[in-house]
A and B are shown apart, each in its own frame.
Chain A
Amino acid sequence: MTDATQFGAEAPKPKTSILELDKRTRKRNAAETRFRYYGMAAVAVGVIFLVVLLGTIVRNGIPAFTQTYITLNVELPAAKLDKKGNRDPAEIAKVTTFGYNGIISDALVTALKDNGVQSDMKDADLRKMLSSSAAAQIRDAVLADPSIIGTTQSFRLLASSRVDGYLKGRVTRESLARDKNLDAAHLDIVDQLQKAGVVSRSFNWSFIFGADASESRPEQAGIGVSMLGSLFMMLVVLCLSLPIGVAASIYLEEFAPKNRFTDLIEVNISNLAAVPSIVFGILGLAVFIQFVHLPQSAPLVGGLVLTLMTLPTIIISTRAALKAVPPSIRDAALGVGASKMQAVFHHVLPLAMPGILTGTIIGLAQALGETAPLLLIGMIGYIASTPPDGIISGFLSPNSAMPAQIYEWAKRADPAYYERAWGGIIILLIFLMTMNIIAIILRRRFERRW
């Protein structure tokens, strides 16, 4: 009442038109327009970064997916490989890879002659065009089937990483000037052999499915074995963190009394989600390896450590999903006489499932790309050169993991490894994208049901 009398005597408002914008409105509109441009600029910057990032990854990583091979007809003289001529595997095995070098040189010389390539290079130098794994490859073939001794077999041998780099444009004649592994003269030969079809590039399956190789043989290295390591780790993470995480969240959200203690737990779970992953690594080292004496570098230990790291993510997203289920559904279930557990498991959990799945898959994807904790439990630095020979050894025998493998390659000096690191990143990204797509598909599926 008093307000009305107090302001009642005010002068009548000046007449304004709604067709004209007044000063305040103009200012407000200008602010809104500005804000919209800020937003668009922010999105644009983000998109540019993303495009540049993906572009760089693809440009640098794609060459890793092809590899240069030299196809040679290798004569396998019995005089050198099986001196006694009795085809005894034990005897044949005595010839080391060193003994095969001469054979390879001979095959190269023959190839040059056959294709009309002139060269005055020494045999040993000529062999530098090939990967040092070539001898082992031939030896393995001979040991696997001694009957080929005395015949001439066609072998597709890996070219050395420099020849490979030359075909990919990474290595030039200038860059070889100070390289003691390969000369410009080699490249002339490669050019001619490529024309003749002896040197060729093809898709590199062994990069995807193969094992890691030593520092001097980048052309042989593959990510396959560490992929298996990652797979076994993810199995451990999934089998542990999903049930534990979901059970913990259901208990905390639906059953636990609300008191100081549960509040404390809640705060700590949120804090754990922000703990640097390397802390979990050192915890894993102390508890799982030094105290429980689990094997070092084992995917089991990696999985356990990553489980610890993933749990908070899963618990937080599961609790959010459970909270988002309207309380009326719980009331409805309790109202018809369902017990609390029935209400949760029959009604709340199915409705929360899309959120739980999304959280779990995002947690898993995070764990898949995690590198730091693996550093401390010895999965980084391990040369994953032999694939596990069974499920148990898959969990327990030392292995690497995809991000660890990428880190390992990026660390090595040879530029050919740099290319492999980028290639590894592409494979890792494909995995992550697949997981996210699965998350989206699952979420859609579940949502459609309701």
Chain B
Amino acid sequence: MYDQPALEKKLDNDTIKIAASGVQVYYGEAHAIKDVNVQIQDKTVTAFIGPSGCGKSTFLRTLNRMNDTIDICRVEGKILLDGEDIYDPRVDPVQLRAKVGMVFQKPNPFPKSIYDNVAYGPRIHGLAKNKADLDEIVEKALRRGAIWNEVKDRLHAPGTGLSGGQQQRLCIARAVATEPEVLLMDEPCSALDPIATSQVEELIDELRTNYSVVIVTHSMQQAARVSQKTAFFHLGNLVEFGDTSQIFTNPKDPRTESYITGRIG
């Protein structure tokens, strides 16, 4: 079981949640991801950094098969979630995405009420037996999304009426409401102001107790602040992967060093 947050505050970082080996991604003829091998640990925040167009978002989207929605996209290699290949033909991507949730770059709440936004996932996955159950799930998710106190009095107001930072936290709450095991975040703070960013970052740190979080970010400071592991992508290659402290203080690869010191990017 992965859901024993209170008891096991001490993190068992050694469990490998996602293991990717030899992953190649093609967009038509373009070779977007070249032979990436990476192991993402459970209850850890892993940051993907790299210059624009280096493939970090593409790689993130392969982890819950969101790339399936793009016709010309082709993925090769193996990505194991708890030892099971997610590209196995028997896997239904819908079921996979319930386990591997995703938060997007731009806050994208449904144009429905705050309550319905969060309740949507549990509803379609049948997680709640009745209304009271659902209310509880929604409250729990909104609390985890660190937005409960702000919206508890207006759960039936439209989600699109919130501020950008609140919307993004609502989206995070929506993602955790389905009880995923992994949470993928694609530049979750790029559309937010510094205050909202710091709120979301705090939230990410809290989420680590329950989930394995993978975050794509443009901001190296953010990667340094929130992550324990960092992967540096460049031109579709995974250049370096290691402990965040090591990547930022003692990078092994000269390209990593150039990037984090601001010479390429």
Q: Which residues of A contact B (CB under 8 A)?
A: 257-258, 326, 328-339, 342, 346-347, 351, 450
Residue of A nearest to B171 (CB): A332
Measured CA separation A337–B184 after assembly (Å): 13
Q: Which residues of A contact B102 (CB under 8 A)?
A: 331, 335
- Contact among A330, A337, A347, A450 with B125 in the assembled complex (CB-CB below 8 Å): A337
- Contact among A326, A328, A331, A346 with B120 in the assembled complex (CB-CB below 8 Å): A346
- Contact among A258, A328, A347 with B106 in the assembled complex (CB-CB below 8 Å): A328
Going nearest first, the 9 A-B pairs with the smallest beta carbon separation are A337-B98, A328-B108, A336-B121, A335-B102, A450-B111, A337-B97, A332-B108, A339-B94, A338-B124
Measured CA separation A401–B158 after assembly (Å): 46
Q: List 20 A-B contacts (CB under 8 A).
A: A257-B71, A258-B71, A328-B106, A329-B111, A330-B69, A331-B104, A332-B108, A332-B109, A333-B120, A335-B64, A336-B121, A336-B124, A336-B174, A337-B97, A337-B98, A337-B101, A337-B124, A337-B178, A338-B121, A450-B111
Q: Which residues of B contact A334 (CB under 8 A)?
A: 66, 69, 97
1/0 contact string of B17-47 vs chain A (CB within 8 Å): 0000000000000000000000000000000
Measured CA separation A450–B94 after assembly (Å): 26
Q: Which residues of A contact B214 (CB under 8 A)?
A: none
Which B residues from 103 to 139 make CB contacts under 8 A with A? 103-104, 106, 108-112, 120-121, 124-125
In the assembled complex, the CB of B22 is this many whole angstroms from the nearest CB of chain A, namely 26
1/0 contact string of B120-164 vs chain A (CB within 8 Å): 110011000000000000000000000000000000001010000
Q: Are A337 and B104 in contact (CB under 8 A)?
A: no
- Contact among A328, A329, A337, A450 with B95 in the assembled complex (CB-CB below 8 Å): A337
In the assembled complex, the CB of B69 is this many whole angstroms from the nearest CB of chain A, namely 7
A333-B120, A337-B95, A337-B125 known; 14 new pairs, CB 8 Å cut-off, are A334-B97, A335-B102, A335-B103, A336-B97, A336-B101, A336-B120, A336-B124, A336-B174, A336-B178, A337-B97, A337-B98, A337-B124, A338-B120, A450-B112
Measured CA separation A347–B171 after assembly (Å): 15
Q: Which residues of B contact A330 (CB under 8 A)?
A: 69
Q: Which residues of B contact A (CB under 8 A)?
A: 64, 66, 69, 71, 94-95, 97-98, 101-104, 106, 108-112, 120-121, 124-125, 158, 160, 171, 174-175, 177-178
Q: Which residues of B contact A450 (CB under 8 A)?
A: 111-112, 158, 160
In the assembled complex, the CB of A361 is this many whole angstroms from the nearest CB of chain B, namely 23
In the assembled complex, the CB of A351 is this many whole angstroms from the nearest CB of chain B, namely 7
Q: Which residues of A contact B97 (CB under 8 A)?
A: 334-337
Q: Which residues of A contact B177 (CB under 8 A)?
A: 336
Measured CA separation A95–B61 after assembly (Å): 89
Q: Which residues of A contact B178 (CB under 8 A)?
A: 336-337
In the assembled complex, the CB of A230 is this many whole angstroms from the nearest CB of chain B, namely 37
- Contact among A257, A331, A346, A347 with B66 in the assembled complex (CB-CB below 8 Å): A331
Measured CA separation A265–B98 after assembly (Å): 35
Q: Are A336 and B111 in contact (CB under 8 A)?
A: no
- Contact among A258, A333, A337 with B110 in the assembled complex (CB-CB below 8 Å): A333
Q: Are A335 and B94 in contact (CB under 8 A)?
A: no
Q: Which residues of A contact B124 (CB under 8 A)?
A: 336-338, 342, 346
Residue of A nearest to B125 (CB): A337
Q: Which residues of B contact A339 (CB under 8 A)?
A: 94
Measured CA separation A331–B175 after assembly (Å): 12
In the assembled complex, the CB of B16 is this many whole angstroms from the nearest CB of chain A, namely 23
Residue of A nearest to B112 (CB): A450
Q: Which residues of A contact B101 (CB under 8 A)?
A: 335-337
Q: Are A347 and B94 in contact (CB under 8 A)?
A: no
Residue of A nearest to B108 (CB): A328
Measured CA separation A326–B105 after assembly (Å): 14
- Contact among B66, B71, B106, B112 with A335 in the assembled complex (CB-CB below 8 Å): B66
Q: Which residues of A contact B71 (CB under 8 A)?
A: 257-258
Q: Which residues of B contact A332 (CB under 8 A)?
A: 104, 108-110, 171, 174
